[in-house]
Structure 1
Amino acid sequence: MTETADIAPLPTVDGGFKTILADPPWRFANRTGKVAPEHKRLDRYSTMSLDEICDLPVADVSAKNAHLYLWVPNAMLPDGIRVMEAWGFRYVSNIIWAKRRKDGGPDGRGVGFYFRNVTEPILFGVRGSQRTLAPARSTVNMIETRKREHSRKPDEQYDLIEACSPGPFLEMFARYPREGWSAWGNESGVEVEPKGQQHRGYAGGSFDQVPLLDSYERMSPRVADRIANLMREEYEQGRSIRDLAEETEYSIQRVRTLLRRSGAKIRARGRGAADDDAELEQAV
């Protein structure tokens, strides 16, 4: 149990944060209405009661016109709306995280009393009058990626938020610091080791979190830059283009284009090395 008196003050900026992302440590109740016991063996994180979450002075650090992206479990949607209102925001829409297997199908390892959950919503709220930025007009309200460590959310959320909402940005209950964001939470420091297990393969350039794309789909420049840099790190450590294509399930053509985007020096290959760069750019 987390006592609010022990929680560090929220950071502040002049004029307030225009965009806030929050993933509160919700406390579940079991079917009898009693608080569900926390699993001591897993020791993942401390939870907070609904009142404790509502009492956080988020309105005090928010801009007059601002956006809120609030993660909430499917079973606690009404609580999410209550928290949003307590923080000074009104609910207007949502984004759905669809958890996928490597083959693109729904990841059926989720839990739930009534259905096996393969989705998780982000409630989107507005304070004052704050439109989304122009890229939002062509951004769908769904993120489709593979699951990572327990309760860790997909990195693609940052690409979406940064493209659709203005800064300055604040992440509450952050697990890791992110460049360009203010991070608040007991696991957000660079020196803090997250309590949740970090699955093998998720550290140091893993591609388990890359977006699933059809051959004709293009990714945003921000996402393309992030994945291109990951690929360059792996490629310069000796991975082949074919290896990267198999792991990401992207075409060899797309992988080569991303590597070139990152400035990687492409190693000699069997067939002619001269590709039409203009044609390749169409694949990203």
Structure 2
Amino acid sequence: MTQLVRYETARSALAEARSVDEVKDIRDKSEAMRAYARMAKDTQLEIDATELRLRAERRLGIMLSEQKQTIGMNRGGWQTCGSGEEPQDRIPTLAEVGIDKKLSSRAQRIGGIGEQAFEAMVESVRDRIASGERIGLNITTADKKERRAARERDLASRQAALPNKRYGVIYADPEWRFEVYNRDTGMDRAADNHYPTSSTEDICNRPVADIAADDCVLFLWATVPMLPDALRVMDAWDFQYKSHCVWAKDRVGTGYWFRNQHEILLVGTRGNVPAPAMGTQVESLVDASVGRHSEKPAKFYELIERYFPTLPKIELNARAARPGWDAWGYEAPVNEMA
């Protein structure tokens, strides 16, 4: 009960703090309490003290950011009014209130995290300490992974709240029309034999941007000869190319210069989409067996779901229903069409 009272009192003091030095004092006392709790092996006290430090640093970061945008920051030296004397209302420097550049940078990074994402991060930290994990509070790889996951969840919650549905993930496999050298002799293995194809111009003109959220990632399939067309489509749909991975097939196909045994999955973004956290990226070469004509392996759905587990998703030119996804296309299941 004593610990609970101490925790609630500190939370109240933090909520009432109005100056940077007040918040900094609460942050320092929380860190001292956290260090003591570790030595005393008091898990609950460590959990509470860690949360207080995080909340104090977030509050500190928000205050510093607001000060930058309003009265500005004192970077050092005198701020004079022409008299040569120090003004009575001079803004103190960060160093004068005990804030070094490292703490200032960390606090402003935490302060920039959305409310829901921050609460998710706090909950994760509490759970990790409760499970016996000994964690530091520097922005380590593990912290970056959690912060990235929290950003993804926060983005998903905002997209799901939109009045007209918008997608954070668009996965597309357009029905590319590849013009062979000779349509009399070169059509025996063309895509047109399997499904209707469309011109690149028609694909470009689809209003995909209208269903994309402001912050959205596009995964766009391209065959080797259609790579320039795919980049053109990505630009027309209002996405900027970022990277790609390669599907290494277990069967050799056709080709004029080489016998193609791979396809390319382009990645483009619009807005502010979180890239995978360091250490969580998958390899760019993905081995998978070939299925029906133009069918894509399940591995790539799983890759996308691993990167963006909560964002609203739609597959364009879908052939089958997949839980958690909407679908559109000539062969898409009727009851799943968006």
CA contact (8 A) 1:176 1:189 kept: yes
2:320 to 153, 164, 176: 176
Shift of 1:112: 0.5
Instruction: Specify whether residues 76 and 185 from structure 1 end up closer, same or farther in structure 2 by C-alpha distance, changes over 3 A only.
Output: same
Counterpart of 1:113 (choices 245, 250, 256) is 256
- Which residue number in structure 1 is paired with residue 107 of structure 2? none
**Which of 192, 201, 204 is residue 51 of structure 1 equivalent to?**
201
1:77-99 deviation per Cα after TM superposition (whole angstroms, max 9, x unaligned) = 11110000000000010010001
Structure 1: unaligned runs, 5 residues or longer: 1-11, 101-106, 193-284
Q: Would you say the 8 A contact 2:191–2:197 is kept in 1? A: no
Give the drift of 1:151: 0.9
Letter in 2 for 1:180: G
Query: Residue 154 of structure 1 is aligned with which of 282, 297, 315?
Result: 297
Cα distance, 1:41–1:136 mapped onto 2, change above 3 Å: closer
Identify the match of residue 128 of structure 1 among 247, 253, 271: 271
Deviation of 1:132 after TM superposition, in Å, equals 2.5
* Partner of residue 68 from structure 1, selected from 190, 212, 218: 218
Shift of 1:44: 1.0
Q: Does 1:18 pair with 2:180? A: no
Question: Following the alignment from structure 2 to structure 1, what is the Cα–Cα distance between the partners of residues 213 and 176?
Answer: 25
Supply the distance in 1 between the matched residues of 2:259 and 2:163 (Cα, whole angstroms).
41
2:228 to 68, 75, 78: 78
Instruction: Return the structure number with greater helix share.
Output: 2
Note the residue ranges of structure 2 that are not aligned, 5 or more in a row: 1-161
Whether 1:186 aligns to 2:311 is no
* Structure 2: distance between partners of 1:92 and 1:19: 14
Distance 1:87 1:136, change over 3 A: farther
Residue 32 (structure 1) shift: 6.2
Q: Deviations over 1:16-68 (max 9, x none)?
A: 1000000000000123699x757799841000000100000000000001100
- Which of 249, 253, 260 aligns to 1:99? It is 249
Identity %: 38
Report the residue type matching 1:182 in the other structure: D
Q: Which letter does structure 2 place at the counterpart of 1:77?
A: L
Within the alignment, does 1:139 sit opposite 2:285 as a pair?
no
CA distance in 2, matches of 1:98, 1:39: 20
Conserved? CA contact 2:245–2:286, under 8 Å: yes
Matched, 1:163 2:306: yes
Match of 2:46 in 1: none
What is the Cα deviation at residue 142 of structure 1?
Answer: 2.4
Distance in 2, Cα, partners of 1:115 & 1:24: 23
Amino acid at match of 1:117: N
Q: SS state of the match for residue 137, structure 1?
A: coil
Looking at structure 2, the residues matched to 146 and 172 of structure 1 have their Cα atoms a distance apart, in angstroms, of 22
Give 1:154's aligned amino acid: P
What is the rounded CA distance, in whole Å, between the counterparts of 2:323 and 2:283 in structure 1? 25
CA distance in 1, matches of 2:328, 2:211: 12
- State the alpha-carbon separation in 2 of the partners of residues 40 and 32 from structure 1: 12
Using the size of structure 1 for normalisation, the TM-score is 0.56
Contact 2:177 2:191 in 1 (8 A): no
Q: Distance in 2 between matches of 1:123 and 1:41?
A: 20
In angstroms, what is the RMSD of aligned CA positions?
Answer: 3.0
**Local SS of the residue matching 1:163:** helix
Query: How does the TM-score come out when normalised to structure 2?
Result: 0.47
1:130 and 1:167 mapped to 2: Cα distance?
A: 11
Deviation, 1:177, is: 1.0
Q: Which has the higher contact order (CA 8 A, sep 6+)?
A: 1
